[in-house]
């Protein structure tokens, strides 16, 4: 009986030795990581400072159009048909111009946003590669994209905060001018970050 138990134990040990070790997998919200680094926060602040005056001008134009629309509505019974048509044409011209200016501003903002992502994307990928190698991770999955196939992931495997800390520890906050290495995939920017110019009326 004792011999059988010893044999069973030996077989169990052999099976454990032959079983493949579990792969270490981590998740990261890479856009969050980029924008929450010191460099990312500074770059976002610079972008917002650049586009705030543009947004203020567009808001002022939008307010003027709203006033004219209100005046046209209130003057339907007091204004002459000619005056109503003239004001309606002015509103239409101003609205089309505002829409063009808004689209142009949003395109410019997206270019700045993409430039930031391209610049910091390569740097943070280098941090992720080193971190994953040092910690023995075999796979790191980006879950920040809306099209991410990940339906559930434990918070315990999220390394976003660790990557932010590792990046900030190794990179001083300051102007970001270097281009992302071609060998690294740069994350795709979303139109929601940084804040976009107000939508068309």
How many folded domains does the chain comprise? 1
The answer to whether residue 189 sits within a structural domain is no
- The whole-number average pLDDT for the span 148-177 is 77
Look at residue 197 and tell me if it is in a domain.
no
8-state DSSP, 184: S
Q: Is residue 6 part of a domain?
A: no
Q: Does residue 105 lie within any of the structural domains?
A: yes
User: What phi and psi values does residue 24 have, to the nearest 5 degrees?
Assistant: -90, 125
Which pLDDT band, with edges at 50, 70 and 90, does 132 fall under? very high
50 lies in which domain range?
Answer: 20-170
Q: Average pLDDT of 143-158?
A: 82
**CATH classification at residue 31:** 3.30.910.20
pTM of the model: 0.63
In a domain, 31, yes or no: yes
Question: Looking at the domain assignment, is residue 13 inside a domain?
Answer: no
The whole-number pLDDT of residue 198 equals 54
* Residue 30 belongs to some domain of the structure: yes
pLDDT over 50 at 13, yes or no? no
179 contacts: CB under 8 Å, gap ≥ 6: 118, 119, 122
For residue range 62-109, what is the model confidence (pLDDT) as tens digits?
999 999 999 999 888 889 999 999 999 999 999 999 999 999 999 999
* Residue 72, in any domain of the structure: yes
Asked whether the beta carbons of 39 and 173 are under 8 A apart, the reply is: yes
Residue 40 and residue 172 in contact, taking contact as beta carbons nearer than 8 Å: no
Q: Span 113-119, mean pLDDT? A: 89
- In this predicted structure, what is the pLDDT of residue 10? 46
């Amino acid at each position: 009986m004792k011999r059988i138990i010893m044999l069973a134990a030996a077989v169990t040990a052999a099976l454990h030795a032959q079983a493949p070790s579990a792969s270490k997998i981590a998740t990261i919200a890479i856009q969050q990581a980029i924008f929450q680094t010191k460099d990312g926060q500074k770059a976002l602040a610079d972008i917002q400072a650049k586009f705030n005056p543009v947004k203020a001008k567009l808001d002022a134009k939008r307010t003027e159009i709203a006033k004219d629309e209100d005046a046209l509505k209130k003057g339907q019974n007091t204004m002459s048909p000619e005056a109503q048509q003239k004001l309606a044409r002015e509103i239409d011209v101003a609205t089309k111009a505002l829409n063009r200016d808004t689209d142009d501003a949003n395109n410019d903002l997206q270019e700045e946003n993409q430039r930031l992502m391209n610049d910091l994307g390569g740097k943070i990928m280098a941090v992720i590669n080193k971190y994953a190698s040092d910690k023995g991770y075999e796979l790191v999955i980006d879950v920040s994209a809306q099209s991410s196939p990940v339906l559930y992931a434990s918070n315990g495997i999220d390394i976003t905060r660790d990557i932010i800390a590792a990046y900030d520890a190794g990179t001083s906050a300051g102007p970001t001018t270097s281009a992302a290495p071609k060998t690294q995939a740069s994350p795709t920017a979303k139109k929601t970050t940084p804040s976009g110019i107000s939508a068309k009326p």
